Amino acid sequence: MSEMVWMLIENDGAVLLAQRKPESEVFAGRWTLPGEVRGDEETDEETLARVAADDFGVELQGEEFVERLHVSTGGRQHQINVYRVGFEGSPKFRESGPYEEVGWAAPAELDELDIELPEALRTFLGRLSGGA
């Protein structure tokens, strides 16, 4: 089972979603929250800080654990710790990073978007918007 850390970045009722590149080792081509597999010698907080700096050019100003998701994909099990994060600066999508594209989406409008999300993530985001 891989252990992953994802960032919940919110702005005016929307969350930042990232589509992973087709050649990604995990969740290839799928939309998720930004984040990645936690390094063997890293804490969740260190992984969050690394991803924020490397992939979005921002420095985290705090993180709060909000949910643990269990997701199966490609015959593999993943335990994903989701943290609501604050940061300094404006996140800038780096095309050479692990994401094909990123975008803001209101959790209440996810069903209207033609994107493939892991079901556990869709359920979690639905709860954020006050849904079932």
- Domains of the chain, first to last: 2-128 (3.90.79.10)
What value does the mean pLDDT of the chain take? Answer: 90
Buried/exposed code over 61-94 (b: 16+ C-beta within 10 A; e: otherwise): eebeeebebebeeeeeebebbbbbbebeeebeee
Res 132: pLDDT: 45
Nearest to 7 by CA among 41, 40, 42, 32: 32
Nearest to 105 by CA among 85, 118, 122: 122
60-113 pLDDT per residue, tens = 999 999 999 999 887 889 999 999 999 877 888 888 889 999 999 998 888 888
DSSP structural state of residue 106: -
Res 130: pLDDT: 66
Model's pTM, two decimal places?
0.91
Res 87: pLDDT: 85
